[in-house]
Chain A
Amino acid sequence: MSASSLPAIVAADPILEGELLWTPLLIVLAKVVVIFVVGLVGTMFMVWFERKIVAGMQNRVGPNKAGPFGILQTLADGIKLFFKEDLLPAQADKWVFRLAPFLAFVPAFLVWSIIPLGGDFSDGQDGTVVWFGETTRVQLADPPIGILLFLALSSIAVYGIMLAGWSSGSKYPLLGSVRASAQMISYEAALGLSLAAVLLSAGTLSTAGIVIAQPTLGDWHIVATGFVPFVIFLIAATAELNRPPFDLVEAEQELVGGFNTEYSSIRFALFFLAEFMNTITMSGIIVTLFLGGPQPISIGDTTLDIPLLPGAIEGTVWFLLKVLVFLYAYVWFRATLPRLRYDQLMDLGWKVLIPVALGWFLLLAAIRVGQDADWNIGVVVGVSLAVIAVGYLLFVWALRTSSGLRDRGEVSA
């Protein structure tokens, strides 16, 4: 085996196939730098955006001193944080305490690399662009496992929060991190199940492939998978992000600040960055999975075309517009919804989201099999619904029995 086996290992991005030349290498390096910078600037923007919108919803002005509309406020805060003293608690596990912020920060950035950020997908094109004579995609990597990489990274991010709380050697952070890990593991199941519905419809794991599979509005997975997986994914994603109304991890009134209480200066800044970064990347993932990523809105044969823009840039514009909708929605959630109680959180995750996601996935799979085998679709749907109804009744029965036992005190909870 020689260097020729490298391309197959690294990625399915067409630019990395064939021999290793200077132009592709430079393009990839440029992409890395651009994605890093865009990520950081996007995070800065998100912090400002959130503060401004929340202020507006609460009849305040919000940041307005640094720069026009206060847009440089985040930069000022960042500089201030970087020059603060970096404290290391006496009780802390020093090595893990230093490691934890990076475990939170690095996965947040890596998710960016698999999101298709642009490219011309209209009229059945596959979204590749030609830069300096090289065919490539407007995304850093398109690995064969695609969207699974996102799941893997989000499960690594749990470590950052968990270890941060544990290594601080103090009670509130520990409580915050135990809550966080329980919450993130619980909702990861619902997240994965609703994701499976999308994969079933797209038939591929690759993020670029998922975008290619949604050319018109009717093919967007939000429609093609019947809206339910989208709602479940959105709720589970909000819980994964530890954002309100699921921010029990850092419930200020109960836990001071949660897992990051003992952190200061640049380490705290890394957690803060990771959190907002995750909000942006998660919006990007939702857009990619359910709303066609950089695909323009098109119904049937008519495509809503932005005039005067070449296809590839238009893709980026569409992507940004769709992401902005979700960023606004996340801020909106924060400004309007009260925080859940812990038992409500667990009930919602385990007793509502997971069963619904599972049932819906069964239904979609049955319809898919029925289509492949050319069965009568009405019978397939009827039988599936009957099975789901029986499952639901059994489930309700089990819940009744257990809560009845608990009420009568026959078992300890």
Chain B
Amino acid sequence: MELLVFVLASAMVIAGAGGVILSRNPVHAALGLVLTLFGVAVHFVALEAHFLAAVQVIVYAGAIVVLFLFVIMLLGVDRAENIEVEPLKVQRPLAIVIGVGTIGIVAAAVLRVRSTLAQGEPLQSDGDSNIRQLAADLFSDRVFAFELTSVLLIVAVAGTVVMTRRQRASREDDRS
């Protein structure tokens, strides 16, 4: 049963990832990303990380990809781009190197730690223990990292607002 869930979810993840890379239409690519995120959520549920699964769907599928789609629709880039034009020449070779390197590192890591994985029964838990443990961790041991992340987000938002708001003087310069 567990194997079946694993295979199905992995198939979802891989199919979605393939869709992201291979589809010519940005909206289809975004939908492929949603499929991948769902597959990962299923994996989380199979590992009894229910809260992570829910957050995965709510935040990533529900907010972030919706914003992607929003931008795609507003900017009207929902058609295939001409990929012959290359603004940054090093981009493609670099992408190949980094891609192959990442696969190598992940594969090596998996092979190294496979034998040391903890064996045995998972923790028996009631429905809310997931969220309790996460909260206790986030708000005690890792509270500074947590707060710094929120500061980072605020800085990003404030920076965006400042950069997109043009002063009147510069606007008149644009017009002249």
Contacts and interface: CB of A to CB of B under 8 A. Distances in A.
Interface of A: 1-3, 5-6, 8-9, 12, 93, 95-96, 143-146, 148-149, 151-152, 154-156, 158-159, 162-163, 166, 174, 177-178, 181-182, 185, 188, 203-206, 209, 409-412
A206 B128 contact: yes
A178 B73 contact: yes
Contacts of A154: 62
Contact of A174 (B28, B63, B73, B130): B73
Nearest to B171: A412
Contacts of B58: 148, 151-152, 155
Contact of A145 (B5, B53, B62): B53
A269 to B, nearest CB: 24
B48 A8 contact: yes
Contacts of B128: 144, 203-206, 209
Interface in B48-89: 48, 50-51, 53-55, 57-58, 61-63, 66-67, 69-70, 73-74, 78
B74 A5 contact: no
B169 to A, nearest CB: 9
B127 to A, nearest CB: 3
B167 A185 contact: no
A411 B69 contact: no
Interface in B1-60: 1-2, 5, 25, 27-28, 31, 34, 45-46, 48, 50-51, 53-55, 57-58
B166 A411 contact: yes
A96 B31 contact: yes
11 contacts: A6-B1, A93-B27, A144-B127, A144-B128, A155-B61, A155-B63, A174-B73, A185-B66, A204-B127, A205-B131, A411-B167
Interface residues of B, number: 39
A158 B2 CA distance: 31
Nearest to B124: A8
Closest 10 CB pairs of A and B: A155-B62, A144-B127, A148-B54, A152-B57, A145-B54, A144-B50, A145-B50, A1-B2, A411-B165, A3-B1
Nearest to A149: B54
B34 to A, nearest CB: 7
A58 to B, nearest CB: 37
Nearest to A158: B66
Contacts of B67: 185
B127 A162 contact: no
Contacts, number: 108
Contacts of B70: 162, 178, 181-182
B92 interface: no
Given A155-B62, A162-B66, A206-B127, A143 B57 contact: no
Contact of A181 (B5, B69, B165): B69
Given A9-B45, A148-B58, A410-B167, A159 B73 contact: no
Given A8-B48, A151-B62, A412-B168, 20 more contacts: A1-B2, A2-B2, A5-B2, A9-B5, A9-B45, A9-B46, A143-B50, A145-B127, A149-B54, A152-B62, A155-B57, A156-B62, A163-B69, A166-B69, A178-B70, A185-B63, A203-B128, A204-B127, A409-B168, A411-B167
Interface of B: 1-2, 5, 25, 27-28, 31, 34, 45-46, 48, 50-51, 53-55, 57-58, 61-63, 66-67, 69-70, 73-74, 78, 122, 126-128, 130-131, 165-168, 171
A96 B28 CA distance: 8
Given A9-B48, A185-B63, A144 B130 contact: yes
Contacts of B131: 205
A152 B57 CA distance: 6
A185 B67 CA distance: 9
A312 to B, nearest CB: 22
B2 A155 contact: no
Contacts of A1: 2
B66 A146 contact: no
A154 B61 CA distance: 11
B150 to A, nearest CB: 13
A30 to B, nearest CB: 23
B48 A411 contact: no
B57 A411 contact: no
Contacts of B73: 162, 166, 174, 177-178
A209 B55 CA distance: 20
A158 B62 contact: yes
A51 to B, nearest CB: 32
Contacts of A8: 48
Contacts of A158: 62, 66
Contacts of B166: 411-412
A120 B175 CA distance: 71
Given A151-B58, A174-B73, A96 B165 contact: no
A96 B26 CA distance: 12
